[in-house]
Chain A
Amino acid sequence: MIKFDNVSKKYFINQGVSRSLKELVPRMFKRPSLAKQTLLDKTEIWALRNMNFEIPRGESWGIIGPNGSGKTTLLKLLSRITYPTEGKIEVSGTIGNLIELGAGFHPELTGAENIYLNGSILGLTRKEIQEKFKQIVAFAELERFINTPVKKYSSGMYIRLGFSVAAHIEPEILLIDEVLSIGDLSFQRKCLNRIRELSKKATTILFVSHNLLSVQALCSTTIYLSQGKVRYLGDTQEAIQFYEEDTNLKDFSRMIEGTSPGERGFSRNEMEIGEVKTLDIHGEEKKIFRSGEQLIVEIGYHTFKPIPDPVFRVRVVRGDGLTCCEYHTRHDGYSIPLLDGKGIVRLETGTLKLLPQFYSLDISVWDLQSNLRYCRQVRKIIKIEKDLLREFEGEGIYKVEGSWSLLPSV
């Protein structure tokens, strides 16, 4: 069983870099307070924030997320390589750790010598290694080279040996970090099968990978991490979908940065647009809508002084920068006599029959003549998905149904 109880891990970015006596001692003489700062003043990063979960014995869990989201840190905390800044981790059972294959291999030693060394690093006794020695060598397909120093191995051979030793430790908890992407295809399959075998033997498995297919193949439950926080914990299928959508949204907003008309002209800093929510007609917040669905946009605002007759504009912009349509308080026949303090402006669109694509909602507030902008433009990305009832999408921007008929020829 593995239990994370409100676990956080903080790293200092320049830890260990600038802390040398050379810098410290002169400061100590000049100003003691400065010396203390050298030791303490470091930019900090929360690699993991408030992790709470419990993995029952024998389950296989996947961990996915972009680079730097805290996946490896999580495994390192689990295997006691590093320790949490806050919170508590409870683990019962022996831990096998595939964070780095062949960690502890020494280039000068032969394959056989390294098997014994690496095996004991991973917690096997000499006797256990002796029993499994043949199996390990056979699995790695290295019978001919086992008495050669590993410095003469190809990188593939090196990795195969590393995996083979690690895969034969049969711990109660197995941590795997991105190791299946190595080796050729047939070896990858072999690894995957070996992990499956272990999982059948009631080994608890934590599997970190960017290969979403193998996560899907191995794990029933998946944690999706983003910036050190749990974005989603649950069914693997859902977690992967979540992750893919987030990634797409991010890619899209990066793309549209260059193409969209964006902000034009100068804006006066008289108010601020706060949180923008996109909801469906039932009031549920979401970012993905079906084509033909109604869209509700709630725009939080905060004025610094009373603004008479403001105009709210929401432009719907496609990925290539084309403005597909615009909502505009005045054009839509709504007027706000005075905006003061904090509040929310709500827009309910008609059925949006945009074709499936990513769109950005560019929100801004103007004066009545649309000459002056009161605040910085705010952008929100949404995705329109295919209408389930419709089989074909066709081309264009917007879909308005037409009805066809065949007229009798004259």
Chain B
Amino acid sequence: MLAQIRLLWSYRELLSNLVLREIRIRYKQTLIGIAWSVFQPFALMVTFTLVFSLFARFPSEGIPYPLFSYCALLPWTFFATSLNRATQSLTNNSTLLTKVYFPRELLPLTSIITASIDFGIASTLFIGMLFFYHISLTLNIMFIILILVIQVIFTSGMAFFLSALNVSFRDTVQAIPLILQVWMYASPIVYPMSLVPEKMRYLYMLNPMAGIIDSYRRVILHGLPPDPRYLICVFFVAVTVFVLSYRYFKRKEIFFADII
């Protein structure tokens, strides 16, 4: 494991160049360029506010609904974009895979890093919104780092698994947008956690994204520490997924060039 990390570290320049390439290519010949990364969660936020707050009158834990939903949409978009891109990261770079050696992990990692840059840019709007709605932050905001780390562990776990799976089964790339859509409604994004019946909570909490998103809300919007029961549970699920997926990735890796 340590040797793996050292190897990846020695390829950090390639990683940063791959990320740079992703970003450059994405916004070449676009008009608004990087603003697209704010536009996507923002548009969803507006839509959700209209549909679920104005029309359907969902409760939002006493928080203004735009803030309530944007706070969840940000990490969710990060997660969903990462997986969407990572799933195709190996297959889209088949020329590289079959012609040059480099640690294959770099490709799904590149997808996650570029998605995290979008995440960062879209977050600036969120900070503005916090000021606009006069949300006072507490020291509990520091928990954000912990939650983010858990989210990244979980995301990269999923990314390794899905990207490797897509090399053998191209069905994966077809299925992922659908799965993510269903998954979004299985996470507390448009509705608060309190709407989920108490009896179903533990089952519900098996979805790591539920715990992660709920924790973000508690820490940022309510100024509370995250619920430790949920967060610990999420942490273990995330680490297990990561370990199993990475192992799967490494086992499949040696056949990538042959079957891609």
Contact = CB atoms under 8 A, between A and B. Distances in A.
B47 to A, nearest CB: 31
24 contacts: A12-B258, A15-B259, A16-B259, A19-B259, A20-B170, A76-B98, A81-B97, A81-B99, A82-B258, A83-B254, A83-B255, A97-B99, A99-B100, A100-B99, A103-B99, A104-B96, A106-B25, A108-B25, A108-B28, A113-B24, A117-B17, A120-B13, A120-B17, A123-B14
B202 interface: no
Contact of A125 (B13, B167, B255): B13
Nearest to B98: A81
B12 to A, nearest CB: 10
- Interface size range on A against B: 20 to 34
Interface in B78-104: 95-102
Contact of B13 (A12, A95, A126): A126
Given A106-B21, A109-B21, A113-B24, A121 B100 contact: yes
Contacts of B233: none
B21 A79 contact: no
A318 B207 CA distance: 78
A76 B257 CA distance: 9
B228 to A, nearest CB: 40
B25 A20 contact: no
Interface of B: 13-14, 17-18, 20-21, 24-25, 28-29, 95-102, 167-171, 254-255, 257-260
A97 B20 CA distance: 23
Please give me the 8 A-B residue pairs with the lowest Cβ-Cβ distance, nearest first.
Answer: A103-B99, A16-B259, A83-B254, A100-B99, A120-B14, A82-B257, A80-B101, A120-B17
* Of B18, B21, B25, B98, most A-chain CB atoms within 10 Å: B21
Given A16-B167, A108-B25, 8 more contacts: A15-B258, A16-B259, A16-B260, A20-B170, A76-B257, A81-B97, A81-B98, A117-B21
Given A103-B100, A104-B96, A120-B14, A20 B169 contact: yes
B95 A100 contact: yes
B169 A11 contact: no
Interface in A8-67: 11-12, 15-16, 19-22
Contact of A20 (B21, B29, B167, B171): B171
Nearest to A107: B25
Interface in A285-315: none
Nearest to B101: A80
Nearest to B167: A16
Contact of B24 (A83, A103, A104, A109): A109
A122 interface: yes
A166 to B, nearest CB: 10
B210 to A, nearest CB: 28
A99 to B, nearest CB: 5
A116 interface: yes
Contacts of A22: 171
Given A103-B95, A125-B13, A81 B101 contact: yes
Contacts of A121: 14, 17, 96, 100, 102
Contacts of B98: 76, 81
Contacts of A116: 17
A183 B21 CA distance: 27
A122 B18 CA distance: 13
Contacts of B95: 100, 103-104
Contacts of A123: 14
Contacts of A103: 95-96, 99-100
Contacts of B28: 108, 149
Contacts of A95: 101
Contacts of A81: 97-101, 257
Contacts of A16: 167-168, 258-260
A125 B14 CA distance: 8
B199 to A, nearest CB: 34
A99 B14 contact: no
Contacts of A97: 99-101
A95 B17 CA distance: 20
B98 to A, nearest CB: 6
Nearest to A103: B99
Contacts of A11: 258
A31 to B, nearest CB: 20
Contacts of B25: 106, 108-109
Nearest to A128: B13
Contacts of A109: 21, 24-25
A340 B257 CA distance: 53
Nearest to B174: A21
Nearest to B22: A106
Contacts of B24: 108-109, 113
Contacts of A125: 13
Interface in A76-126: 76, 79-83, 95, 97, 99-100, 103-104, 106, 108-109, 113, 116-117, 120-123, 125-126
A108 B169 CA distance: 29
B54 to A, nearest CB: 42
Nearest to B259: A16
Contacts of B17: 116-117, 120-121
Interface in A349-378: none
* Of A20, A21, A81, most B-chain CB atoms within 10 Å: A81
Contacts of A108: 24-25, 28-29
A19 B166 CA distance: 11
Nearest to B17: A120
Contacts of A19: 168-169, 259
A304 B20 CA distance: 73
B113 to A, nearest CB: 15
Contacts of A126: 13
Nearest to A21: B171
